[in-house]
């Protein structure tokens, strides 16, 4: 049987197993192969400083751009690209309406590329990560992403929450994971079904905790930093986020004296009200739990480092190099 007579599904399956250079050759071999090969050749696109021409291709050819499902662009912070390149990037983003995942790391001053054409929507986009903070351009884009589940924004934003743009009513109805500044979280989380919250900048206060607890879903993961060392903050978290599974709170507070036994006992008492809690780190100390007794399945929490020689002195929690690297390298959990 001639290859040209093979059904489209079989040609499509064959293309799945070809490398990009072979797909390019296949696209050039025959007009029937051209569209089949293109769908796979441009399905997953990664752009860096070595293949910038790909952005121009996607900007000039909407038909090709609609094949893209995952698009990653990571440019060196030392790149000095002309505004014309970013205009092409904006065009390419407007054309890629079939995206399921978008990861964009470019000059923060170019956040205007997210202001895509009014007729461009992204009904399949589930993940969006960017080097841009929350601003009017990013908000314009987010208003078009009703399927979004994961959102990761940069933290470099000095404005207060009152200066941040507002999303349209009903935007981000499926958002489940948020990473970004405390100010952006206060703008985005309340009223949306966010379960995982990672604050990579800003101060977690009791007022902010109560605001984030207004998520339309139970918050199960919280990672944040605070300038407080108050047991009251932990009490607020255990009261308004009672279904927490993973909790990580660090502080920039400079302890003048080591906390006493009562201080740790109060935190332990607060943690007992979280029946679903599996892992916990507070002020840089890991907490572990055990059953109260054979007949009582309730949990008792205790600082893992307390009463051991390995305890990091409280006033050194944020001067310990390893601890800082762990916190700010990716600010995420492994569980």
Question: Residue 134's pLDDT is what?
Answer: 93
Residues 23, 41: Cα–Cα separation, whole Å: 6
Q: Which of 21-30, 135-144, 261-270 has the highest mean pLDDT?
A: 135-144
Here the tokens at position 81 are 């690209």
Per-residue pLDDT averaged across 162-184, rounded?
91
User: DSSP states of 155-223 as a string?
Assistant: ----S-GGGSPPPPTT-STT--EEEEEHHHHHHHSTTS---EEEEEES---HHHHHHHTTSSS---EEE
DSSP 313: P
- pLDDT tier for residue 255 given thresholds of 50, 70 and 90: confident
Place of tokens 């900048």: 201
pTM of this prediction?
0.81
Instruction: Name which of 28-32, 174-178, 198-202 the model is least confident about.
Output: 28-32
Q: DSSP letter string over 227-250? A: S---HHHHHHHHHH-TT-SEEEEE
Q: Using an 8 Å Cβ cutoff, are 187 and 134 in contact?
A: yes
Using the predicted structure, report yes or no on whether residue 312 has a pLDDT greater than 80.
no
Residue 120 has what pLDDT? 96
Give residue 173's pLDDT. 98
- Work out the average pLDDT over 8-33: 61
Report the C-alpha gap between 66 and 153 in whole angstroms. Answer: 25
pLDDT greater at residue 13 or residue 318 = 13
For the domain bounded by 43-175, which CATH number is listed? 3.80.10
Mean pLDDT, range 155-184, rounded to an integer: 84
**Chain centre to alpha carbon of residue 98:** 20
Say if residue 87's pLDDT is above 70: yes
**pLDDT value of residue 103:** 98
Residue 42: pLDDT band (50, 70, 90) is confident
Residue 162's pLDDT band, with cuts at 50, 70 and 90, is low
What is the reported pLDDT for 311?
44
What's the mean pLDDT in 313-322? Answer: 45
Counting residues of the chain whose pLDDT is more than 70, the rounded percentage is 75
CB distance 40 to 13 below 8 Å:
no
DSSP helix/strand/coil, 150? strand
Residue 160 tokens read as: 């207060």
pLDDT at 213 over 50: yes
**pLDDT beyond 90 at 33:** no
> What pLDDT score does 259 carry?
76
Task: Tell me the mean pLDDT in the region 175-184.
Answer: 96
pLDDT tens per residue, range 285-311:
899 987 765 555 567 888 875 444 444
Percent with pLDDT over 90 in the chain: 60
- pLDDT given for residue 256 in this prediction: 74
Contacts of 50 (CB under 8 A, 6+ apart): none
Per-residue tokens: 12: 């499509």
What ranges make up the beta strands (E) of the chain? 44-47, 70-74, 101-105, 127-130, 150-152, 177-181, 196-201, 221-226, 246-251, 279-282, 285-291, 299-303
User: What's the rounded mean pLDDT across residues 230-238?
Assistant: 93
């Amino acid at each position: 049987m001639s290859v040209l007579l093979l059904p489209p599904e079989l040609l499509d399956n064959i293309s799945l197993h070809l490398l990009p250079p072979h797909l390019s050759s296949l696209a050039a071999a025959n007009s029937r192969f051209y569209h089949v090969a293109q769908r796979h050749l441009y399905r997953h696109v990664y752009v860096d400083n070595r293949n910038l021409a790909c952005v121009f291709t996607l900007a000039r050819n909407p038909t090709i751009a609609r094949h893209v499902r995952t698009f990653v662009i990571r440019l060196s912070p030392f790149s000095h690209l002309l505004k014309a390149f970013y205009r092409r990037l904006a065009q390419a983003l407007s054309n890629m309406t079939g995206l399921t995942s978008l990861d964009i790391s470019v000059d923060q001053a170019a956040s205007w590329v997210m202001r895509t054409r009014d007729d461009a929507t992204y009904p399949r986009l589930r993940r969006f990560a960017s080097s841009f903070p929350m601003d009017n351009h990013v908000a314009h884009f987010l208003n078009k992403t009703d399927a979004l589940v994961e959102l990761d924004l940069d933290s470099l934003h000095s404005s207060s929450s009152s200066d941040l743009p507002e999303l349209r009513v009903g935007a981000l109805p499926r958002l489940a994971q948020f990473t970004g500044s405390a100010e952006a979280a206060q703008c985005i989380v309340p009223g949306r079904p966010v379960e995982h919250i990672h604050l990579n900048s800003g101060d977690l206060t009791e007022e902010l905790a109560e605001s984030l607890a207004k998520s339309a879903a139970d918050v199960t993961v919280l990672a944040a930093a605070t300038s407080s060392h108050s047991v009251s903050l932990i009490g607020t978290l255990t009261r308004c986020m009672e279904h927490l599974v993973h909790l990580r709170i660090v502080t920039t507070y400079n302890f003048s004296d080591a906390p006493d036994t009562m201080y740790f006992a109060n935190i332990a008492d607060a943690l007992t009200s979280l029946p679903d809690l599996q892992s916990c780190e507070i002020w840089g100390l890991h907490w572990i739990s055990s059953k109260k007794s054979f007949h009582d399945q309730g949990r008792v929490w205790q600082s893992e480092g307390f009463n051991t020689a390995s305890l990091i002195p409280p006033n050194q929690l944020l001067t310990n190099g390893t601890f800082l690297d762990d916190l700010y390298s990716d600010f995420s959990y492994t569980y």
